[in-house]
Protein backbone atom coordinates (compact mmCIF):
# COMPACT_ATOMS: atom_id res chain seq x y z
CA UNK A 1 0.00 0.00 0.00
CA UNK A 2 1.53 3.27 -1.11
CA UNK A 3 0.99 6.04 1.42
CA UNK A 4 2.98 9.19 0.60
CA UNK A 5 2.09 10.74 3.98
CA UNK A 6 2.06 9.08 7.35
CA UNK A 7 1.19 10.60 10.69
CA UNK A 8 2.68 8.86 13.72
CA UNK A 9 2.55 9.32 17.45
CA UNK A 10 3.02 7.46 20.68
CA UNK A 11 0.73 7.76 23.66
CA UNK A 12 0.67 6.35 27.16
CA UNK A 13 -2.64 4.97 28.39
CA UNK A 14 -3.81 3.41 31.64
CA UNK A 15 -5.11 -0.13 31.29
CA UNK A 16 -6.84 -2.31 33.82
CA UNK A 17 -5.57 -5.86 33.71
CA UNK A 18 -6.55 -8.41 36.33
CA UNK A 19 -7.62 -5.76 38.82
CA UNK A 20 -4.43 -3.69 38.61
CA UNK A 21 -3.99 -0.49 36.67
CA UNK A 22 -0.84 -0.13 34.61
CA UNK A 23 0.58 2.33 32.10
CA UNK A 24 0.80 1.05 28.54
CA UNK A 25 2.58 2.69 25.63
CA UNK A 26 0.92 2.61 22.22
CA UNK A 27 2.44 3.61 18.86
CA UNK A 28 0.04 4.47 16.04
CA UNK A 29 0.29 5.42 12.36
CA UNK A 30 -2.28 6.89 9.99
CA UNK A 31 -1.57 6.98 6.26
CA UNK A 32 -2.87 9.34 3.60
CA UNK A 33 -2.75 8.36 -0.07
CA UNK A 34 -2.34 10.73 -3.03
CA UNK A 35 -6.15 11.11 -3.25
CA UNK A 36 -6.42 12.24 0.38
CA UNK A 37 -7.88 8.93 1.61
CA UNK A 38 -6.90 8.24 5.23
CA UNK A 39 -6.56 4.88 6.91
CA UNK A 40 -5.10 3.49 10.08
CA UNK A 41 -1.88 1.76 9.08
CA UNK A 42 -1.21 0.13 12.42
CA UNK A 43 -1.29 0.33 16.18
CA UNK A 44 1.17 -1.48 18.45
CA UNK A 45 1.00 -1.80 22.21
CA UNK A 46 3.82 -2.19 24.67
CA UNK A 47 6.47 -0.14 22.90
CA UNK A 48 8.25 2.98 24.12
CA UNK A 49 8.89 6.14 22.14
CA UNK A 50 12.54 5.26 21.67
CA UNK A 51 14.47 4.58 18.48
CA UNK A 52 14.39 0.79 18.81
CA UNK A 53 10.60 0.73 19.26
CA UNK A 54 10.02 3.10 16.34
CA UNK A 55 12.35 1.01 14.14
CA UNK A 56 10.45 -2.14 15.06
CA UNK A 57 7.10 -0.42 14.45
CA UNK A 58 8.15 0.98 11.05
CA UNK A 59 9.63 -2.40 10.06
CA UNK A 60 6.32 -4.04 10.98
CA UNK A 61 4.45 -1.50 8.82
CA UNK A 62 6.82 -2.16 5.90
CA UNK A 63 6.30 -5.88 6.38
CA UNK A 64 2.57 -5.29 6.04
CA UNK A 65 3.21 -3.65 2.66
CA UNK A 66 3.78 0.03 3.42
CA UNK A 67 5.97 1.79 0.85
CA UNK A 68 6.29 5.12 -0.93
CA UNK A 69 6.37 7.24 2.24
CA UNK A 70 7.40 10.77 1.24
CA UNK A 71 6.53 12.56 4.48
CA UNK A 72 6.44 11.37 8.09
CA UNK A 73 4.76 13.79 10.48
CA UNK A 74 4.99 13.41 14.23
CA UNK A 75 6.21 15.04 17.40
CA UNK A 76 9.76 14.67 16.08
CA UNK A 77 11.17 13.02 19.18
CA UNK A 78 14.71 11.89 18.43
CA UNK A 79 13.87 8.19 18.39
CA UNK A 80 11.04 8.63 15.90
CA UNK A 81 13.01 11.02 13.70
CA UNK A 82 16.09 8.80 13.45
CA UNK A 83 14.06 5.63 12.85
CA UNK A 84 11.86 7.26 10.18
CA UNK A 85 14.86 8.55 8.27
CA UNK A 86 16.52 5.11 8.41
CA UNK A 87 13.43 3.09 7.51
CA UNK A 88 12.04 5.45 4.85
CA UNK A 89 15.17 6.99 3.36
CA UNK A 90 13.16 8.84 0.69
CA UNK A 91 10.93 10.41 3.34
CA UNK A 92 11.17 13.82 4.92
CA UNK A 93 10.11 14.44 8.50
CA UNK A 94 7.90 17.25 9.68
CA UNK A 95 6.94 18.22 13.18
CA UNK A 96 3.31 18.72 14.16
CA UNK A 97 2.61 22.45 14.33
CA UNK A 98 0.70 22.00 17.60
CA UNK A 99 3.83 20.57 19.26
CA UNK A 100 5.91 23.47 17.96
CA UNK A 101 3.36 25.98 19.30
CA UNK A 102 3.33 24.30 22.72
CA UNK A 103 7.11 24.52 22.96
CA UNK A 104 7.06 28.21 22.05
CA UNK A 105 4.27 28.95 24.55
CA UNK A 106 6.18 27.16 27.31
CA UNK A 107 8.95 29.79 27.14
CA UNK A 108 6.82 32.85 26.29
CA UNK A 109 6.05 35.31 29.10
CA UNK A 110 2.52 34.73 30.47
CA UNK A 111 1.36 38.24 29.62
CA UNK A 112 2.52 37.88 26.00
CA UNK A 113 0.89 34.54 25.12
CA UNK A 114 -1.93 36.10 23.07
CA UNK A 115 0.53 38.25 21.09
CA UNK A 116 2.84 35.26 20.51
CA UNK A 117 -0.11 33.14 19.34
CA UNK A 118 -1.26 35.86 16.93
CA UNK A 119 2.27 36.25 15.56
CA UNK A 120 2.74 32.48 15.11
CA UNK A 121 -0.57 32.21 13.27
CA UNK A 122 0.44 35.05 10.94
CA UNK A 123 3.79 33.42 10.23
CA UNK A 124 2.16 30.04 9.65
CA UNK A 125 -0.41 31.54 7.29
CA UNK A 126 2.39 32.87 5.06
CA UNK A 127 3.35 29.40 3.88
CA UNK A 128 6.07 29.02 1.29
CA UNK A 129 9.72 29.61 1.98
CA UNK A 130 9.41 32.16 4.79
CA UNK A 131 6.58 30.51 6.73
CA UNK A 132 6.18 27.34 8.71
CA UNK A 133 3.38 25.87 6.55
Q: How far apart are CA 97 and CA 46, in angstroms?
A: 27
Mean pLDDT per block of 10 residues along the chain (133 residues) reads 85 85 89 89 84 92 91 83 88 80 86 89 72 47
pLDDT for res 131: 46
pLDDT for res 100: 79
Q: What are the structural domain ranges in the chain?
A: 5-95, 97-133
Amino acid sequence: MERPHEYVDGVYLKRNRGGSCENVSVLAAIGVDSNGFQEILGVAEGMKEDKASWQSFFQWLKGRGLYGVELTAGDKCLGMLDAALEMFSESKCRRYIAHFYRNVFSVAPCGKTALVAKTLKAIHAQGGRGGVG
